[in-house]
Amino acid sequence: MSTKTLHIDGDRLLTRLSELAKRGARDDGGCNRLAFTDADKEGRDLVTGWMRELGMAVSIDGIGNGVARRPGREEGPPVMIGSHIDTVRTGGRYDGNYGVLSGLEVVETLKDAGITTRRPLAVAFFSNEEGSRVAPDMMGSLVYVGGFGLEEAHAAVTIDGKRVGEELARIGYRGDAPTPGPVPYAYVELHIEQGPVLEAEGFRIGAVTGVQGISWTEVTVRGQSNHAGTTPMSYRHDAGYVAGEAAAFVRRLTKEMGGRQVGTVGSIVLEPNLVNVVAQKAVFTVDLRNTDEKLLQSAEARLDEFLGTIADAEAVEISTRRLARFEPVDFDPRMISLVEETARSLGATVMRLPAGAGHDAQMLARVCPAGMIFTPSVKGLSHNVREHTDPADLELGANVLLQTVLTLTETDPFKAASWRAS
């Protein structure tokens, strides 16, 4: 049979998405599977179970990345389909999960059709892509490609004060597969857009050109706790005020820079955090992103300048800690074209666009040709329990993934790197 007529089973994909969404389910319909929690373990158990049911050999490495392999007719590095199954605290069911479960859908479709691909296939979920419980985000894929040491990752401390290494052992996902992991022939990630562009512009598939640069900074302000009624304004060293003014500054910065510059103060914690006490301490985060590295550096420099000025003005002590820093990534032009052409061959409207969020694909792009396929997000809602993508778009995206992967397994667009079997 021609593989061109193969088609994934949309209902089966939706059923798996629903089943996984029950792990760490929130009362409001969303998902809360922060990395390395009990809920994350439940999600991992479910997905690795499915992988084994499909006859795949599953390996878990030291940071908990799961890689399931399906042999090809030939030896050599596999075409890897991957994403993540952890979520933010107020997550939906598609972010990450859609890419991993579509990978399983590709494998099951091939299995049902009795097809063994020429190159091997791998389906991977990478640990802690979100970084919501512990920085950096994309931790698992970064360790996989050798960009972050395993010991350093194990020593990272979660927002609830736990070490990653101990949490991995606790949930039974501190595996023995080596890191850095074996280099795939190519890497493809299917993901919801998480932004409003495809829907607003009327396209059903996005051929992702690259990923924005990301800069995360944690800012700690040490002022002086004092009585909110008796302390004249000029005597204050108010850490809470500094945090507030910083949030206002970040907004102003994005307005002045315009373009693709975005900025967010998503977390603020004050001490003692009481109505009638001037805060002695504030810890807040600043998330800056831009597709242009020079502009991102300029935004960082302006943040530093702001913090220096306000530290002097308020006579508070300000220290910063870099939680994550990734330069913008450009995907391999052949991968972008392949996704674009595959989508068109399936009759889909397709648009080239950059990813606003960080993705595991940008880490894999360091070691092999990598690309991404986007499907629309209704109203652009993301990291939100009301995140939604139309079922027909989910199915279309998985079919684009299937055909993209088949081109990569059956033809020779790239020269293969050496694959070390784990």
φ, ψ for residue 114, nearest 5 deg: 70, 30
Minimum separation from the CB atom of position 271 to a second copy (A): 8
Minimum separation from the CB atom of position 287 to a second copy (A): 5
Rounded distance between C-alpha atoms, residue 264 and residue 281, angstroms = 20
**Exposed/middle/buried for residue 401 (C-beta within 10 Å: 0-12, 13-18, 19+):** buried
**Minimum CB distance to a second copy smaller for 280 or for 399:** 280
Rounded distance between C-alpha atoms, residue 208 and residue 187, angstroms = 13
Rounded distance between C-alpha atoms, residue 310 and residue 83, angstroms = 41
Rounded distance between C-alpha atoms, residue 407 and residue 53, angstroms = 25
Minimum separation from the CB atom of position 348 to a second copy (A): 21
**Minimum CB distance to a second copy smaller for 179 or for 290:** 290
**Minimum CB distance to a second copy smaller for 5 or for 230:** 230
Minimum separation from the CB atom of position 266 to a second copy (A): 5
Minimum separation from the CB atom of position 277 to a second copy (A): 4
Residues ≥6 apart with Cβ < 8 Å to 112:
none
Minimum separation from the CB atom of position 106 to a second copy (A): 25
Length of the chain: 422
Nearest to 374 by CA among 133, 197, 181, 177: 197
Minimum separation from the CB atom of position 149 to a second copy (A): 22
Q: What angle do CA 236, 240, 242 make, to 5 degrees?
A: 80
C-alpha torsion sign, points 394, 130, 339, 408: negative
φ, ψ for residue 38, nearest 5 deg: -60, -40
Minimum separation from the CB atom of position 127 to a second copy (A): 16
Rounded distance between C-alpha atoms, residue 257 and residue 24, angstroms = 39
**Minimum CB distance to a second copy smaller for 94 or for 185:** 94
**Minimum CB distance to a second copy smaller for 185 or for 326:** 326
Which tokens in the block code for residue 79? 């075409």
**Minimum CB distance to a second copy smaller for 264 or for 422:** 264
- The Cβ of residue 242 has, within 10 Å, a number of other Cβ atoms equal to 23
Residue 222 amino acid letter: R
**Minimum CB distance to a second copy smaller for 215 or for 403:** 215
3-state DSSP assignment of residue 241: helix
Minimum separation from the CB atom of position 365 to a second copy (A): 17
- The Cβ of residue 200 has, within 10 Å, a number of other Cβ atoms equal to 11
Rounded distance between C-alpha atoms, residue 85 and residue 21, angstroms = 10
**Minimum CB distance to a second copy smaller for 70 or for 133:** 133
Cβ atoms of residues 72 and 121 within 8 Å: yes
**Minimum CB distance to a second copy smaller for 72 or for 131:** 131
